[in-house]
Structure formats: C-alpha cells, structure tokens
C-alpha cells in the first residue's frame, strides 16, 4: 500500500509502474482510531 511498491500482477499495469499511496499510514491510523470508538 505504500508509495513506490511494485503493483500486483493482477492489477493489469505495466511491470515497471509502481502502485500505492503516500496516505497509507494516515488512512491506517485514522481507521484504527475510528474503530476504537465503535
């Protein structure tokens, strides 16, 4: 999920392209905080 990681071969992208997002850590942390209030 982190930026610059290779894509899954099932993603249908060029093997030299990278996948992921720099917001992965923020998304994960906000999800944990949200779940802790449920």
DSSP, collapsed to helix, strand or coil, labels residue 28 as helix
Whether the predicted model's global pTM rises above the 0.85 cut = no
Specify the pLDDT at position 38.
80
Q: How far is CA 9 from CA 19, 20, 22, in A?
A: 11, 14, 21
Mean pLDDT, the chain, integer = 82
| C-alpha torsion 14→16→3→1, nearest 10 | 50
Question: What confidence tens digit (pLDDT) does each residue in 9-19 have?
Answer: 777 777 777 88
Alpha-helical runs (H) found in the chain: 24-36
Mean pLDDT across 2-29 = 80
- Residue 6 DSSP class: E
DSSP, collapsed to helix, strand or coil, labels residue 10 as helix
């Amino acid at each position: 999920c982190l930026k610059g990681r290779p894509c899954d071969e099932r993603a249908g992208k060029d093997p030299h392209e990278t996948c992921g997002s720099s917001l992965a850590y923020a998304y994960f942390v906000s999800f944990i905080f949200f779940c802790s209030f449920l």
